[in-house]
Amino acid sequence: MMRSSAKTAAVLTLSLTCLLPPQAFAGISITSYLSAQEPVFTTTPASTAAFENNHSLIEASVVKESGTEEYKIGVMIKALSRAIASPDEPDSLQIITQYGTDSRYYVMIRGWLVQVLSGVQSQLDANRNDNAQEILIERVDFLTQAIRRIDLE
């Protein structure tokens, strides 16, 4: 599997070769370009998927202090995604409130919740099945409560 930078380099090279003469690429190779690149990201040695499957949302949202900022944001996004997708979990609202009241992420999380709420309301308006409507109404209530909770705190 190619990294995204390798794909970009290959596409760029292929598109430029169609437009430019071969002499324009003298001394340039994709392998020399890729070997000079820094890794896009690093992973932690522990498997985060195994950790999330064996722990609650709260435990999955706790990040070691030694983690990088990018890793912490990734963990936050995964925890929020799981909390939004599973409103029946007891700690879903708590996760959303925990991250949503942080002023650095408030606008992003509130926007995310509003967009999900808009989609669920659209599904609710279009759906005529009583069973599905009950589930969608519960999701609308959950998302509305989550938005109110981060707005008030």
Residue spans of the domains in the chain: they are 4-35, 51-152
Rounded to the nearest angstrom, the gap between the alpha carbon of residue 64 and the centroid of all alpha carbons in its chain is 19
CB 92 within 8 A of CB 86: yes
CB 32 within 8 A of CB 13: no
CB 153 within 8 A of CB 120: no
Q: What is the pLDDT of residues 82-130, one digit of tens each?
A: 999 999 998 999 999 999 999 999 999 999 999 999 999 999 999 888 8
* Per-residue pLDDT band at 54 (split at 50, 70, 90): low
Query: Counting beta carbons within 10 angstroms of the beta carbon of residue 42, is it exposed (0 to 12), middle (13 to 18) or buried (19 or more)?
Result: exposed
Residue 104 and residue 5: Cα distance in Å, rounded? 29
